[in-house]
Amino acid sequence: MNSKLLSQVSAYIGRNMGLHYPPDRYSELEARLLRMIPEKTVEDADDFFEQLIHRPFTYELRNQLATSLTVGETYFFRSVKLFEELEKILDKVILKRRKENHLHLNIWSAGCSTGEEPYSIAMTLLHLLPDILDWNISILGTDINPVSLKKAEKAMYSEWSFRNCKENLKTMHFIPRKDRWEVTQNIREMVRFRFLNLIRDPFPSLSSSIIGEDVIFCKNVMMYFDETVQNCLIDRLFNTLVEGGCLVVDPVEYSASRFSNFTSHRVKDYVFYLKQRKEIDTVKEISKSPPLKIKKTIKKPVFKTIKVSKKKAVTDLVEPVKTAEKLVLEDLLKRAKELANLGKHEEALKATEQYQKVDKATPESYYTRSMIYLALGQQENAKQELEKLMFLASDHLMGSFHLACLYKSAGKNEAVNRQWKFLKAGLKKLDSDELVPDSDGMSAERLLELVEIMSNDK
């Protein structure tokens, strides 16, 4: 194939999936992509590639590309020593949470492949927490490869997945099944899996519950991206961690310059990247701030200062009038989201309670509360808030999406189908690249794609 076409294919893959194929890997890219062509259906490979770069990046195409191009190499307790050192870091977080009496932990395995990594994390936590039943633990595994995710959900592994672990691991956490090993139910219940494209999907995001993470594993994933994509990803991972949270990468990915936002914490031969900002200036602790007093009588309009261009008519320049009361309330909701992002869920809930003492009619406060409950793993509370939201704003697309997911996990099929139908109709009314309100940056096309996947996934 001509190298100009290959460079266009490589750019298309980089743009949509982040995967980096420089010229010296063009032949590998070509060989991998050619596997996607069913035998003898295409006369000319160039035609196939020409069509590919002009195709919209639909979820079918993405699934095919992810299956052909990603490398899913993984196994249980990959880097045993690193896991041992990680235990010490987790011990400290656990101690802190016990002192605060906030028994929750959020852990995200980004690029989890077939699931060995998030299950290894669950096994580690089970060992560290004798009172695990009192804890609210969320371990989320995400990947771009749908075939890997299916395998992760099945939780059935061959000997090859145990190539680096102690023999007693199998007896502790697996049930033998012919020539395979199935992860025990208690460990399976600790881990959820979900599709997520690290390059295109939004995070941190309340709406996807990828927010306020205590630990993020992003091991052996970044190496497949180019430097610009890596830097952008590292920034977003930083923003997704709670203050004091920890990013775990593989030793081959260590880099002082690339992780300069983080404080590097060296334990023996391993480096853990900690989010330790000098000071948090944007968020005042809600518990320490004086109780909110809002005079209901304030009616004075407040205008935002806008730089005036002489050419513009003055009428274009005035933003919608907002009362001081409204601005204070908006600030409170904003603060609730920031607190949730810092992992301070209880305080975030308090902020929304204060908000609702003054205003019970604004849908956004119910949506924010539902997202906080989801982050806490309190699904029933989240569902109640979403139902209140839909009562007030029956056209709220993200509300409907989350409600559908909750109904789905509760097996309420009729209610789920109603929500999917409503959502598909609502999303088709938007332009494909229009951002869905309250979705933290998800386009209508992307959400529709997710809805299609989930509604077909019985």
Ligand X SMILES: C[S@@+](CC[C@H](N)C(=O)[O-])C[C@H]1O[C@@H](n2cnc3c(N)ncnc32)[C@H](O)[C@@H]1O
Token pair for 195:
């599709």
Quote the least distance from Cβ 391 to ligand X, whole Å. 36
Spatial separation of the C-alpha atoms in residues 286 and 369, rounded to whole Å: 16
CB atoms within 10 A of CB 413: 11
Quote the least distance from Cβ 239 to ligand X, whole Å. 17
Q: Pick from 18, 212, 245, 363: which binds ligand X (CB under 6 A)?
A: 18
The angle that helices 345-358 and 363-375 make with each other, rounded to 10 degrees, is: 160
Q: Pick from 138, 148, 209, 240: which binds ligand X (CB under 6 A)?
A: 148
Quote the least distance from Cβ 398 to ligand X, whole Å. 22
Is residue 204 at the binding interface for ligand X, with CB under 6 A as the rule?
no
Is residue 446 at the binding interface for ligand X, with CB under 6 A as the rule?
no
Binding to ligand X, residues 100-139 (CB under 6 A): 111-113, 117
Quote the least distance from Cβ 67 to ligand X, whole Å. 9
Part in contact with ligand X (CB under 6 A); list of ranges 72-80, 96-104, 259-267, 296-304? 72-80
Is residue 17 at the binding interface for ligand X, with CB under 6 A as the rule?
yes
Is residue 63 at the binding interface for ligand X, with CB under 6 A as the rule?
no
CB atoms within 10 A of CB 284: 12
Is residue 254 at the binding interface for ligand X, with CB under 6 A as the rule?
no
Is residue 343 at the binding interface for ligand X, with CB under 6 A as the rule?
no
Spatial separation of the C-alpha atoms in residues 394 and 387, rounded to whole Å: 9
Q: Give 42: exposed, middle or buried? Use CB within 10 Å, 0-12, 13-18, 19+.
A: middle
Is residue 73 at the binding interface for ligand X, with CB under 6 A as the rule?
yes
**CA dist list (Å): 281 to 260, 270, 284, 338:** 20, 31, 7, 11
**Nearest CA-CA partner of 237 in 222, 257, 255, 256:** 222
Part in contact with ligand X (CB under 6 A); list of ranges 194-202, 358-366, 373-381, 407-415? 194-202
Part in contact with ligand X (CB under 6 A); list of ranges 26-34, 214-222, 263-271, 414-422? 214-222
Q: Pick from 32, 62, 151, 219: which binds ligand X (CB under 6 A)?
A: 219
Instruction: Name the residue nearer to ligand X (CB basis): 13 or 403.
Output: 13
Q: 417: which residues sit within 8 A by CB, 6+ positions away?
A: 455
- Asked if residue 455 lies in contact with residue 420, where contact means CB atoms within 8 angstroms, the answer is yes
**Nearest CA-CA partner of 202 in 396, 447, 403:** 447
Is residue 213 at the binding interface for ligand X, with CB under 6 A as the rule?
no
Amino acid 408 reads: K
Spatial separation of the C-alpha atoms in residues 77 and 122, rounded to whole Å: 11
Spatial separation of the C-alpha atoms in residues 40 and 31, rounded to whole Å: 15
Q: How many residues bind ligand X (CB under 6 A)?
A: 26
Q: Pick from 49, 77, 140, 143: which binds ligand X (CB under 6 A)?
A: 143
Q: Pick from 37, 53, 71, 321: which binds ligand X (CB under 6 A)?
A: 71
Spatial separation of the C-alpha atoms in residues 32 and 35, rounded to whole Å: 5
Interface positions with ligand X (CB under 6 A): 17-19, 66, 70-74, 78, 111-113, 117, 143-145, 148, 196-199, 219-221, 224
